[in-house]
Structures are given as structure tokens and as C-alpha cells.
Amino acid sequence: MVVTFEPQDYLSEKAKSRSQSHFAVLDPETAPPGFKPHPSPISFHFGKPNEGFFPIEQIDLTLADFPFQNYLKSGITNGSLESLLNVKGRSDAYGQNQYTETNAEWEKVYRRGSGSDNKAKIPKKGASKDLIDLADGLQYSEYRGYPQLLNFTKQFIKRLHNPGYEEWDTFMCQGASDGLLKIADVLFNEGDIVLVEEFTFPPVLGQIAALGAIAVPVKADLSTKAGNDGIDVDYLSNLLESWGDVYPQYKGAKIKAFYTIPTGQNPTGFTQSDETRTRVYELAKKYDFLILEDDPYGYISLPPYSAPERALSLDQFLTIDEYLASHLAPSYLRYDTEGRVLRVETFSKVFAPGLRLGFVVAHKKFLNAMGKFQLLRPPSGTSQLIFQNTVEKLGGVDGFINWILKVRETYVHRKNLLYHHIKESDAYKKKYVDIIDPLAGMFMSVLIRIPKDEDQEKKMGLLTWKLIAHGINAVPGIKMASDKSFSKDNANFFRLTFAAAENDAEILEGAKRFTNGVEDFFNNDLNY
């Protein structure tokens, strides 16, 4: 039997029942015979305030050339870093990378994509076609998002992931959380099964549960052995093969989707290999489920840990071609030949979360269903106009990739710094902790080697309080378990992020507090 993929078959009852009409618009089908529309009608129907009522005449943007540019200019690689790094005999290495206008190598990287100046003006009216002016951007907008952004996101996806079928499109939303909410709404009926990673982003679990669907965990492999990418595909395959035996209570239920964070996974930090993605996609075809790919961190690709010798390594600063060819992990879109993958993107991690802006990439039929849900809930026009006018100033798709490379480079340094100082700690040397080296994103999970015969859950709970007392807040794995009883013996890790720190010194102080706290806990016979 040949199964032809039809998106319509996966829609929830709610999604199927929605119509897409606006109360202010008449259906042309109902016009009387002989009706002739007026060539230049006056709009008395939509409640759109004329832009003359808007209290802003112009917005001036001043863009950053580089993340933390003020530190760079005053020398992020200042003398204190050497002592913080505690690496002997390398004093000259740090000074070399200090940004100065006379350092030609730095200048090239620093200015890449910044253009001749870093100012952009957003006028009330009359912006060129790729920009959004205030008359448009502060107005009610098209529910799918502004055409300029739809065009940008489409070009961006083509350049970076290029889906393997024709009928895909993009659709703006208020960040990934909102995209996921709208996807869940149009897909899940009560009783549908959604496979999720054992440890995952908890708000999505709430959305699944709110619709009466059931999240079922897929086992995570948290070992630090080379080549492990965190997801146990054999487990997934066996689970699907013997579904009714493993979950007799869900026998016959529709397995609708697998929700996955494949790159720089939250919380574990793992990145699925090419082979894993191929196998998972094949399973999706065989067992006929969708893949919901949530990928906020994928653009922040990180090389395997290497000891930080200086603040930012110019030799690791990639060209766009290098980045695309051998650093960026492939999206599931690359494997998709029929529209089985719904990908959620966000600008929260590579632009700013306060924009509440992201987009969904999926088969047009899924986006149409989402459109009916989104009719009066498009993302903020202000966010869209700030984003669009900024990326155009940066130089469009490639300009934005250049900005991402700058963000990425800064994260590479931060990861290496945090990893290094945990690795150099006594807690590591005494094998109390082990580190999952993240190959993307902003999270590093540190495994706590609590002896097997101990109550892992209880000891992790105590250690969490110990760490708080040492002045370090980290997320214990169990807090991100999709099913706490399923994971009670597998959750002995903490998720640390190297994103929020103000500077290097804070990362190093955090690593010190964390490892001291762990050591203190072990020295005290695993008691508070």
C-alpha cells in the first residue's frame, strides 16, 4: 500500500471546524447578480486608525557592531582574564586579541556585515520596499506577518536548510512558544499521543496536556561517551514496534507527532547526529507521525571544547560558507520530502527575546490551519518593523548570518571558559562530576556521579539546596523531565547556562561556586 501524505489528515477537530472569515468582509459568492464593485471604494469598514493618529514620527536605530562591543573595545582580554584562566605561560596570548582599530584582522571580523554606518531611520511613510515604515508597522497587519518578513524568512530558510519539497512556506508568530502553541492547537485532539524527549522544554508539555493529548517520553542517553547524541533511537524504534505492549492503556491511540529539540537540546545540550535524524525521519514515515522541530539554539553551533587561550579566537571565526558547509547542523527539513516536519524558529536567542518574534516553517496546508487560529493574533508590528529594518541594514540574509556568527563566536568562548573551569576543578578530578560537551546552544549539562545505590532523587534534591547556599542557581534535570517517575533514576544532572553572565569573571565565579558546592556535598557524605 502506498501511503500518500496529506496534511489535512493530521488536523485537530478544532482546526477543521474553524472558518476564515472577517466580520467586516462580505463573501463575494453571496453578491447579487449584476453586482459591480466600485473602482475606488472608501474604507468605512475596518476599525484601522489612520496613521495620522500615531504619536511617533520616526524611530532611529543605532545597531551594535559586535556583541559586548564595549567590553571588546576596552579589552575583554584584559589582564584579569589571565589570572582568572589560571593558565601559566600564556600571558602574551591574551593581549593579542584586544580589539583596536589598528588590528587589521580584528577590524575585518568586527566590522563584517556592519556596513558603512550603524544607523537606520524608520520614517512614518515612504520606506523602500524591503523596509517597513511606521504607517505600516504600527498598523494592524496581515495575520501571517509582513510580506517583507515572510520574504526574508523564506530566503533565510532556503539558504540555510532548503526543504526537500515544494509546498512549504513560512508564517510569523510571537516566538517559538507561540508557534508551538498554535501548532499544538491545530494538530492535537484529546487522547492523541505526542512523543517527547525524556527531558524537554516544560511549557510545551503544558500545552499538550491542556489539549487533552498525552506526552510519552523517549529515553535519553546521557552518557558522555564519544558519539553519543543524547537520544536513544533504538529505544524509540522498539517502543513504536511494541507500542501496545509497552503502553497497553494507549493501545490504538494515534501517535500524532514527535516533539524534538534536535540541536543544542534544552536541557541536555546534545545535538542529534545526521544518522539519528535519518533514522528518526524514517521512523516517522514508517509509523506515520509528524516531527515538530523546535530549534532555538541550532544557529549557535559550538566546536568541541578546547582550552580557552584567549578571549575570542580569530582563527575560529568562520566565513558564511564554512559555517553552512560544516558547522550548522541540518534541520529535519532537509530530510523532509513530503511536509511531515513542522519547524519552529525564534529570534529570541540570536536577536532579542523581548521582540516576541519567530516563525514556523511547514507545509502550506498546516500554515493555513494555523492562519485561521491566528486571524486576529499576529505578532506585534513594532517587533516586525524593528527586526526587518535591522536585518536589512545588516545586509539581508547574509548580513544576519554574519551577526549570528558574531553571537556564535562569543558563545564559543563562553562555553570553553565554563567547561574549562569545571574540568580543572577538584570536583571533576575526583570524578564527582562529568560534563556533556554541547555542540550547539547555550546550555551545558553537568552530570553528578552519585553512587548507584543511593537514592538519586533525594540526593539531587539535597545538592540543589547545597548549591543555592553556595550562591549558584542551576536547573536540576528532574525539573525538565517529561515524566518524573520515568526519569527518577536518570535525572542526576544540572543544566547550567553560559548565556546570562555579564562577563567572563561571572562565568568563572559561577563555575567555582558550582564545583565547590558539589565537593562540599560529597565531602559531607552526600548530605546538605
Ligand X SMILES: Cc1ncc(COP(=O)(O)O)c(C=O)c1O
Contact residues for ligand X, defined by CB under 6 A: 175-177, 201, 261, 266, 294, 296, 346, 348, 353, 358
Q: Provide, rounded to whole angstroms, the least separation between the CB of residue 300 and ligand X.
A: 12
494 φ/ψ angles, rounded to the nearest 5 degrees: -120, 140
Residue (127 or 474) nearer to ligand X, CB: 474
Q: Provide, rounded to whole angstroms, the least separation between the CB of residue 387 and ligand X.
A: 13
Query: Is the alpha carbon torsion for 409, 414, 417, 423 positive or negative?
Result: negative
Residue (80 or 348) nearer to ligand X, CB: 348
Residue (268 or 516) nearer to ligand X, CB: 268
Helices and strands of the chain, counted as H and E runs: 19, 13
Residue (195 or 433) nearer to ligand X, CB: 195
Q: Provide, rounded to whole angstroms, the least separation between the CB of residue 491 and ligand X.
A: 18
* Neighbour-count burial of 467, counting CB atoms closer than 10 A to its CB (0-12 exposed, 13-18 middle, 19+ buried): buried
Q: Provide, rounded to whole angstroms, the least separation between the CB of residue 276 and ligand X.
A: 17
DSSP β-bridge partners for residue 494:
446, 476
DSSP β-bridge partners for residue 447:
434, 493
Rounded to an integer, what distance in angstroms lies between the CA atom of residue 402 and that of residue 405? Answer: 5
Residue (71 or 259) nearer to ligand X, CB: 259
Q: Which three cell numbers stand for residue 172?
A: 510569523
Residue (71 or 201) nearer to ligand X, CB: 201
* CB contact at 8 A, 493 and 459: no
Rounded to an integer, what distance in angstroms lies between the CA atom of residue 447 and that of residue 432? Answer: 8
Of the candidates 173, 177, 211, 190, the one whose C-alpha atom is nearest the C-alpha of residue 371 is 173
Rounded to an integer, what distance in angstroms lies between the CA atom of residue 446 and that of residue 441? Answer: 15
Which alpha helices (H) appear in 329-469, and where do they start and end? Answer: 364-374, 381-394, 396-423, 426-429, 456-469
Q: Which three cell numbers stand for residue 75?
A: 579589552
Q: State the virtual CA torsion across 53, 56, 57, 58 in degrees, nearest 10.
A: -150
Q: Provide, rounded to whole angstroms, the least separation between the CB of residue 175 and ligand X.
A: 3
Residue (237 or 348) nearer to ligand X, CB: 348
Q: Provide, rounded to whole angstroms, the least separation between the CB of residue 335 and ligand X.
A: 20
Rounded to an integer, what distance in angstroms lies between the CA atom of residue 247 and that of residue 239? Answer: 9
Residue (177 or 273) nearer to ligand X, CB: 177
CA angle 455, 460, 466 (to 5 degrees): 130
Rounded to an integer, what distance in angstroms lies between the CA atom of residue 112 and that of residue 423? Answer: 34
3-state secondary structure of 291: strand
Residue (31 or 209) nearer to ligand X, CB: 209
Beta pairing, strands 214-218 & 193-197: parallel
Q: Provide, rounded to whole angstroms, the least separation between the CB of residue 194 and ligand X.
A: 15
Q: Provide, rounded to whole angstroms, the least separation between the CB of residue 439 and ligand X.
A: 16
212 in the Ramachandran plot: left (φ > 0), alpha (ψ -120 to 50) or beta? left
Q: Provide, rounded to whole angstroms, the least separation between the CB of residue 174 and ligand X.
A: 7
Residue (72 or 355) nearer to ligand X, CB: 355
Q: Provide, rounded to whole angstroms, the least separation between the CB of residue 34 and ligand X.
A: 51
Q: Provide, rounded to whole angstroms, the least separation between the CB of residue 129 and ligand X.
A: 28
Half-sphere exposure of 217 (CA within 13 A, CB side): 18
Q: Provide, rounded to whole angstroms, the least separation between the CB of residue 266 and ligand X.
A: 4
Residue (72 or 290) nearer to ligand X, CB: 290
Nearest-CB residue for ligand X? 175
Residue (66 or 201) nearer to ligand X, CB: 201
H, E, C per residue of 161-216: CCCCCCCEEEEEECHHHHHHHHHHHHHCCCCCEEEEECECCHHHHHHHHHCCCEEE
Q: Provide, rounded to whole angstroms, the least separation between the CB of residue 109 and ligand X.
A: 28
Residue (163 or 358) nearer to ligand X, CB: 358
* CB contact at 8 A, 364 and 169: yes
